[in-house]
Amino acid sequence: MGFEPDPVDSFVAPRVALVDAPLVRIHSECFTGETVSSVRCDCGYQLAEAMRLIQREGRGVIVYLRQEGRGIGLLEKLKAYNLQDMGHDTVDANLLLNHPADARTYGSARAILADLGVDKLRLLTNNTDKIHQLQGHGSDLDIVCHVPMYPRWWSDDADAVEHAADSSVLSELSYSRHLALQKDVMAEADRYLKTKAQRMGHMLSMSPAPQLAATTSFWPLK
C-alpha cells in the first residue's frame, strides 16, 4: 500500500492508497499496560502485536485513542484496580464507581480513517462492540473481516510463540518486551480476558487455546 502527500492539508498527511483492505488496529491508551508493563491486562501485548503484524505486511494503520481505562481515565482506573484487589472483576469495579463497563466510543476513529482514505479494512480486534460502533451511525466503513488477537502465551506451540519472527530482529524492537510474555506471569491478565469474553461479548474462546499460525488468520464478517 503506497502513501502520498495530501496537497489540501496544511500539513503533509499520508493518505492510504486503497489497493486492498489494510490491517487496522484501533487501540485505546493504556498507560499501565503499555508503559509500565502491568500484567493485569493484555493491552501492551495487543498494541505490540498489532505493530508486529502491520510491520510484517509492510502496510496498515494504528489509530491510537486517548481512552484510558475503557474511557474512565487513569485515576478512576486505579480506583477500579483497588476494587479488583478486593475481589471484584473489571466490569463490577467500573460499575461500583458509577461508570459503564465500557465508556469508549469510536466516532473519532471513523473520522481519522476517513481522513486517511481508508474505507475498507481488516480489523485487529476481539471486541464486538467496537465492530458494531464502527459500522453503525451511517458509517461507510467496510470491515471485511476481523483478525482475532489471541494472546501468544495461550499457545503451547513453540513455533507459534515465536511467530516465525527472527529473534535477533525481535529483540531490537522497542516493544519486544510485550511480545515475550509468558503464561506463568499472565494469570491475572487471563482472568481479565475471561471477564471480557463472558461479560463483555469479546470473541475469545476460553476452551483449550487454538494453535496460533505464523501468518495472520481472519474471521469473515459477511
The residues assigned a catalytic role are 102, 104
Cα–Cα distance list, 191 to 8, 25, 34 (Å) = 48, 23, 18
3-state DSSP helix/strand/coil percent for the chain, to nearest 5?
40, 15, 45
Residue 28 phi/psi, 5° resolution?
A: -95, 135
Strands 142-147 vs 219-220: parallel, antiparallel or unpaired:
antiparallel
Residue 149, C-beta contacts closer than 8 angstroms, at least 6 positions apart: 46, 49, 50, 124, 125, 126
